[in-house]
Amino acid sequence: MNMINDLISQVSLGNSGRDWLAALSIAILLMGLFYLLRRLLKTRVQKMAKLTRTAWDDAIVDTLGKTTTAALVVFAFALGSLVLSLPPRLASLMGSLAVITLCVQAGLWASNLLKFWISRTIDAKRKEDPASVATLSVVSWIGRIVLWSVVLLLVLDNLGLDITALVAGLGIGGVAVALAVQNILGDLFASLSIVLDKPFVVGDFLVVGDFLGVVEQVGLKTTRLRSLSGEQLVMSNADLLQSRLRNYGRMYERRVLFSIGVTYQTPRDSLRAIPSIIKEAVSRQDKVRFDRAHFKSYGAYSIDFEAVYYVLDSDFNLYMDIQQEINLDIHEAFESRGIEFAYPTQTLLLSQQEQANPA
């Protein structure tokens, strides 16, 4: 009889049947409560999400749906076991199991939110910047690797393993890998910088040093431009960001400065009228804003006038069409007034001195 009692005591871990029944009842009650709470919270947030325009509440609803039943069961039984007198080792194991389950569940929540943010960003950029889609996909992949690496380290730490040496080894290995592929990593991070900071997008016209062209694609390592002469220019992302870029794609209006020279024989009244002639010729055009026109200086062979106006569009062909019309209008006005354009001339003055013959 004593042997049977000892066996029952070992199996029950020193707890009575009433204690085990209470623990089981608490675990079942908590499991039902957690399940009901998850369902009510998801339904409530889902109703609120229909009343708002933001998509993040929909992401929260989807994330709540990622709460696994296994996690609820583990939490319920871990809390129910608190009423039992368990051996220290077993109690510690139950606590570690609950923490590990929480880490994995938090990883699922964070992974789902990261996936939602990346998907939302990709959908927004798919039309305006298709080249960034591949880069953002890589960002999502790297972010998930980092996230689950942290979760794995937390799990190993709660299992009682010493992760200090592992972290140190990963750090040394990471440094070695980074040194081996530093050029590739430099281009990769430069690609991320281009996507996030947006110094240019596909379709922008860039001038990079002596090279110029339209951006066709922004890749993970290189950016491709199509030059005016037709060939494709391939540039490293890191080198591109280290250069001085002139982005004509961000030009909202074009400042135009041009000069006109007339001959020195032009009458003074005509000289006074030239700024008005230029202003009228510029103002007659569409999509322009006149700034100024002045008698600038006395040149080597001409009287010089300078004018400034703005084309309210970045299109180069439109600018050339407008400048052509302005030039024709000025030419017509000068012709009707008898004003002559100056061209390079040189005047030679000859002096002859007559000497009287002696008588």
DSSP state of 248: G
226 strand-pairing partners: 214, 232
Q: Of 127 and 231, which is predicted with more confidence? A: 231
> Phi and psi (nearest 5°) for 170?
-65, -35
Q: What is the pLDDT of residue 107?
A: 81
Polymer length in residues for the chain: 359
Q: Which of 324, 338, 196 is nearest to 265 (CA)?
A: 338
Split at pLDDT 50, 70, 90, the class of 74 is confident
- pLDDT score for 150: 80
As assigned by CATH, the class of the 190-250 domain is mainly beta
Residue 8 has pLDDT above 60, yes or no: no
Q: Which residue has the higher pLDDT, 305 or 70?
A: 305
pLDDT reading at 260 higher than 70: yes
Spell out the residues 6+ positions from residue 204 whose beta carbon is closer than 8 angstroms to its own. 214, 215, 247, 248, 249, 250
- Token digits for 103? 């880490």
Task: Output the pLDDT for position 268.
Answer: 94
Map tokens 């938090």 to a residue: 106
Per-residue pLDDT of 139-153, as tens digits, reads: 777 778 878 778 887
Distance CA 276, CA 58 (A): 63
Phi, psi torsion values for 160, nearest 5 degrees: 90, 5
Cβ atoms 306, 255 nearer than 8 A: no
Q: Does domain 254-337 have CATH number 3.30.70.100?
A: yes
Distance between CA atoms of residues 28 and 53, nearest Å: 39
Angle at 49 between CA 47 and CA 50, to 5 degrees: 70
Inter-residue contact 301 to 346 (CB < 8 Å):
yes
pLDDT of residue 274: 96
H/E stretch holding 20? helix 17-49
- Ranking 141-150, 175-184, 317-326 by mean pLDDT, the lowest is 175-184
Q: Check residue 255 and give its pLDDT.
A: 92
Residue 289 has pLDDT above 90, yes or no: yes
Tell me which residue of 253, 293, 301 sits closest to 277, measured CA to CA: 293
Domain boundaries, the chain: 9-130+138-154, 190-250, 254-337
Mean pLDDT of the chain: 78
pLDDT per residue over 94-111, tens digit each?
777 777 888 888 888 888
How do beta strands 232-236 and 211-218 pair? unpaired
**Mean pLDDT value of segment 74-79:** 78
